[in-house]
Structure 1
Amino acid sequence: MADVVNGVLLNTDCIYFKGDLPCLPHKQHGYHCTCPAYQPIEKRILIIKLGAIGDVIRTTPLLHKIRAEYPNAKITWLTLTPAILPKGAIDEILKFDFASVLYLQQLHFDVLFNLDKDKEACALHDSLNATQKFGYTLKNGVAFPSNPLANHKYLTGVFDDLSQANTKPYVQEIFELCGWEFNHEEYVFDNHEDKGYNWNLDRSKPLVGLNTGCGDRWTTRLWSDEKWIRLIELLESNGYQPVLLGGEAEHERNVTLANVTNALYFGYFELPKFINLMYQMDLIVTQVTMAMHIAIALQKKIVLMNNIFNPYEFDLYGRGYLVQPEKQCACFYRGTCKFGVSCMEELPAEKVFEYVRKCLATEDKILQPVV
């Protein structure tokens, strides 16, 4: 039922109505609330997925299913990294702070998905008003499944042996936690092609992006400079153009690699520009890090180097290979190697190159990506 203020009709239940600013149909066409664009909100959906950036990115396939199940819903997403989310696919993106929490506590949601086990996310799950809740709650001050659908994902996060035995990729686990079947829905992501970035790239050669870093939490993932140099030499001598990728933490390494090879290095950038540079590549070589999630989201071919994680966790959507060291890693989810030298040094550059070549030559879906 519409509201009336001083005789003026107001459809405050319309998905476009803002309350503090003119809505988009009014700005574009001068419409008031008797306009043909009126779209009542039939359901309110809240997603709590705070961070890290990679986990936020690989949760976006849920948007396809939510839109299919609730076509006239208003989707709100609460996160620590709002800039990474595709604004056109989500009605309301909120940064996790006091103001957002205060606002959310005054609303009623039809469905709430809390996909984080952080204590603050679980506490918020418990404090909000929603008809259906999925994901994680607080019990005795720690995260706990809010219903049995979350049991599998919960247990693989608290016991290493169950995590190592798991054969479900992360996105499938998240879908099942929400009560749905995963059908390889793609990520929802912005490639930032509309920003007008200009890259001086020779597109006569296949462009192979080399993401040389992996963050500072699990440094057992790192590959040595010698390995990267050897891979660059193999790529160059076989007609590929290597392009070095990374952030500020990788800058010194990438400058060094560029100085001793013919690999291109454009520097490090703010995230949208970095994403767009990755979008220019024909294939990405990376460890398990944010660049891996971006490459999958951009639907790029990928050669993923892995040692300390369960390889089944990563769904490459049939567009790449997951390559591992020649010997089995003994440091599951460890930040430092118990033997002093990471087994990543047992992954030859020749093996990585072979799967770069194989992946770029393959047009069909890759069915067995772990090698």
Structure 2
Amino acid sequence: MSHLLDNLTVHPDCRHFRGDLPCRPNKTHGYVCESCPVYAPVTSRVLIIKLGAIGDVIRTTPLLRRLRQERPGCFITWLTHTPAILPQAEVDEILKFDFASALQLQARQFDVVINLDKEKEACALLNTISAKEKFGYALRPHDGVAWPQNQLAEHKFLTGLFDQVSQANTMPYVQEIFELCGFDFRGEEYVFDTHEDKGFNWNQLPSSGPRIGLNTGCGDRWTTRLWSDEKWISLITQLQQAGYSPVLLGGEAEDARNRVLHATTGAAYLGTFPLPQFINLMHQMDAIVTQVTMAMHISIALRKPTILMNNIFNSHEFDLYGRGQIVGPNRECVCFYRGTCQLGTSCMEDLPAEKVLQAVAATLPAATILR
């Protein structure tokens, strides 16, 4: 049998190389390895394991900036439950977590593997994938529990185990994961796709006054974060009177509520959309009012001034990058990371609309944007 590779130059170390299909430069320009002008040898291979939730995946993306800086020419693979949320131009290989992905990753070698999840399957992968350096959480073989891979992961590990430690923490999440990887955090921003290239038509959006996106939901896990319809109606009315244009935002779970708020106040509501279109809709806003939820992470990633309504979480966890404010109820919350209120009525009812309006005005004066 002839050895075909002896007669043809192949660069399997190039970041464009596929192995199973022609690479993009070959398909687009007809380039071959021997004389390829875009040959880009990979200097190191990095695997990030961050499966979910979507918001946590988004707020992990600042690591991409630092990895590119510290390891020029690195090839980054990311394993997740939600591939669509990652910036495809910035991650070389995006894999959806399933048996096939896990199987092939276990047969490969990496220079660095970072696991930021404590789920047993994620920790087991850190154990079984070959790498020169490993960071994050591993699976202890004798009892099957998540455990810090090294001392760098201990702080973030302990804040997830004990409420007292979590409440005393003063580091934002992004700083914690940077330190877990052995980096100092230097204010690296999120890496995110605005989906502007999709050409969405937003002619129905109001064109006068700053658009204030109001994300009215918070998911169904910690419903102690919810604000009542009466509070939203009061905020919308006051925003309108102050010269702002409120725009209601949400998914299927918020659709019924947003329709009621639209009918009651006349605030703009365009309906629900697939995630890429929803992201681009948020990109049309001048500022966002939201609870701690996926929309909060999207707003920060889009570099929008963010007014964050928070009660049950440690406010130090959230870095708004100097854009926006965190506002909380007028009485202290006693339900740290709880889904039901111990006192019967959520303290969110003690967050007046006027306080949120003041935060909006301080962050984005009504006269600053005229269309």
TM-score clears 0.5: yes
Count of residue correspondences? 361
Pick one of 332, 335, 343 that aligns with 1:331.
Answer: 335
SS in 1 for 2:61: coil
CA distance in 1, matches of 2:206, 2:271: 17
Give the partner amino acid of 1:151: E
- C-alpha displacement at 1:41, in angstroms? 1.3
| Contact kept in structure 1, 2:242 and 2:366, CA below 8 Å | no
Residue 152 of structure 1 is matched in structure 2 by 155
Aligned match for 2:180, one of 177, 184, 191: 177
Distance 2:179 2:207 in 1: 41
Write out aligned runs for 1:267-278 (5 A): 267-278=271-282
- What's 1:368 paired with? none
Rounded Cα–Cα distance in structure 1 between residues aligned with 2:251 and 2:41? 43
8 Å contact from structure 2 (residues 290, 309) kept in 1: yes
CA contact (8 A) 1:4 1:10 kept: no
Any residues of structure 2 matched to 1:1-371 within 5 Å, and which? 5=5, 7-34=7-34, 35-139=36-140, 140-199=143-202, 200-361=204-365
> Taking every aligned residue pair, what percent have the same amino acid on both sides?
65
Q: CA deviation at 1:31?
A: 1.0
| Alpha-carbon distance in 2 for matches of 1:258, 1:64 | 40
| Displacement of 1:361 | 3.0
Query: AA paired with 1:104?
Result: L
Cα contact 2:208–2:245 (8 A) shared by 1: no
Q: Structure 2-normalised TM-score?
A: 0.96
Corresponding residue of 1:369: none
Q: Counterparts of 1:138 and 1:270 in 2: how far apart (Å)?
A: 36
- Deviation of 1:36 (Å): 1.9
Q: CA deviation at 1:362?
A: 10
Q: 2:160 aligns to what SS in structure 1?
A: helix
Q: Distance in 1 between matches of 2:50 and 2:199?
A: 30
Encode CA deviations 1:162-217: one digit per residue, 9 max, x unaligned: 00000000000000000000011000000111101011223331000000000000
Give the whole-Å Cα distance in 2 for the aligned partners of 1:195 and 1:327: 44
Q: Secondary structure at 1:113's aligned position in 2?
A: strand
The SS at the match of 1:322 is: strand
Q: Match for 2:283: what amino acid?
A: Y
Q: Distance between the aligned counterparts of 1:203 and 1:115, measured in 2?
A: 42
**Pairwise CA distance, 1:5:** 2.2
Query: What one-letter code is carried by the residue in structure 2 that aligns with 1:327?
Result: R
> What secondary structure is seen at the aligned counterpart in 1 of 2:285?
coil
Distance across 2 between alignment mates of 1:21 and 1:146: 36
Query: Matches of 1:278 and 1:86 in 2, distance apart?
Result: 17
Amino acid at match of 1:224: S
Moved more, 3-12 or 111-120: 3-12
Per-residue CA deviations over 1:309-335 (Å, capped at 9, x if unaligned) read 000000000001000000000000000
Describe the SS at the equivalent of 1:31: coil
Partner SS for 2:79: strand
Letter in 2 for 1:185: E
- Residues 172 and 318, structure 2, Cα contact 8 Å, conserved in 1: yes
What one-letter code is carried by the residue in structure 1 that aligns with 2:153? A
CA distance in 2, matches of 1:113, 1:96: 15
- The TM-score, its normalising length taken from structure 1, stands at 0.96
Whether contact under 8 Å (2:47, 2:114) holds in the other structure is yes
* Partner Cα distance (1:201, 1:325) in 2: 31
Whole-Å Cα distance in 1 between the matches of residues 206 and 294 of structure 2?
Answer: 26
3-state DSSP class of the match of 1:133?
A: strand
Residues 228-237 or 28-37, more deviating: 28-37
Alpha-carbon distance in structure 2 between the residues aligned to 1:28 and 1:329: 58
Is the partner of 2:122 in helix, strand or coil?
A: helix
Post-superposition CA distance 1:258-280 (Å, at most 9, x none): 00002000001100000000000
Greater Cα offset, 284-293 or 192-201: 192-201
Q: Is the 8 A contact 1:67 1:73 kept in 2?
A: yes
1:234 is aligned with what amino acid? Q
Displacement, 1:107?
0.7
SS of equivalent to 1:102: helix
Unaligned runs of 5+ in 1: 364-371
Superposed CA RMSD: 1.3
| Aligned mates of 2:332, 2:5 — CA distance in 1 | 69
Unpaired segments ≥5 residues, structure 2: none
Secondary structure at 1:216's aligned position in 2?
Answer: coil
SS class of match (1:131): strand
- 2:51, 2:117 within 8 Å by CA — same for their partners in 1? yes
